[in-house]
Amino acid sequence: MGTRREPTARQLRLATELRRLRDAAGLSAREAAALLGVNSVQISQIEAGTTGVSEQRLRRLAAHYACTDTELVDGLAAMAADRTRGWWEEYRGLLPTSFLDLSELEWHATFRWDVDFLHVPGLLQTEDYARALFSRRVPELPADERETRVRHRMERRVVIDGERPIPYVALVHEAALRIRVGGRAAMRAQLGRLLELSDADHVTVRVIPFDLDDFADVTAAMVYAGGPVPKLDTVVRDGPHGVLYIHSEAQLAVFRTLFRRVEAVSLEPDRSRDLVRRLAEEL
């Protein structure tokens, strides 16, 4: 397999998991290389994500590492075997890599949870709403790049309204539903879109209301993407220096707990729809 110049976040995740398995087994890169009959440089490249690994070699490594978690190994093997060139590849070189990594992550996700406080989550946005958000970027985006971003965001919605939609839960703060992004007409259409999507069996939209006492469990937006097994889940958060991918078991457990706490204080789906409908009527 050739060397990659820029591994995707999914490829880096596979590489990280293989390094974790080797570390847990107490083996050096040289010892792992000897097991496969390759040199240690190749193991280092595999664990850096710059070189791929076949499903057969991955299973051999997992066996040598004495990994008994068969579901985890199967999940990693599926990642190694996947050579999909998804729809997002047409945007490579046109958009930041982080946009493509998120598209790839959610395409392969088994479920998706969102928590958002200031904006409607991207998968639920209308074209006008998304365009208004991108138009407010500083520095201002060139018109062609803005439209490319809008088109990409609309195509991402395939994971919830395409032929094989995934279970999706969005916890959206009431503030995000009251901020008039794009003006009254655009916001009315956006709220209508939320009502339309929330009728689908696989989509749940719940509103975090203003009138909560002592609510400070989560202070920033969160994307939680389910993997084939819980150990391969991923949390995505926007950080001060860019997008942050979180996938250590301890941190995943923390974010699962945080999500459940926010979910517990959110309005039930029916009451959430009633609130969204009332806000739309007020516009």
In tens, the pLDDT along 99-112 reads: 999 999 999 999 99
pTM for the model stands at 0.93
Residue 85's pLDDT band, with cuts at 50, 70 and 90, is confident
CA 214/CA 229 separation, integer angstroms: 34
CA 279/CA 277 separation, integer angstroms: 5
Tokens of 6: 């820029």
Task: Report whether pLDDT(217) > 80.
Answer: no
What pLDDT score was predicted for residue 137? 87
Answer whether the bond into residue 139 is a cis peptide, omega within 30°.
yes
3-class SS letters over 202-231: CEEEEEECCCCCCCCCCCCCEEEECCCCHH
The total number of residues shown for the chain amounts to 283
Task: Report whether pLDDT(185) > 60.
Answer: yes
CA 269 to each of CA 261, 262, 266: distance values in angstroms, whole numbers, following the listed order: 16, 14, 9
In tens, the pLDDT along 119-162 reads: 999 999 999 999 999 999 888 999 999 999 999 999 999 999 99
What pLDDT score was predicted for residue 126? 98
Averaged pLDDT score across all residues of the chain:
93
Task: Report whether pLDDT(51) > 60.
Answer: yes
Mean pLDDT confidence for 45-59: 92
CA 32 to each of CA 18, 22, 50, 64, 257: distance values in angstroms, whole numbers, following the listed order: 11, 8, 17, 8, 36
In the chain the domains, ranked by start, together with CATH numbers, are 9-81 (1.10.260.40), 96-282 (3.30.870)
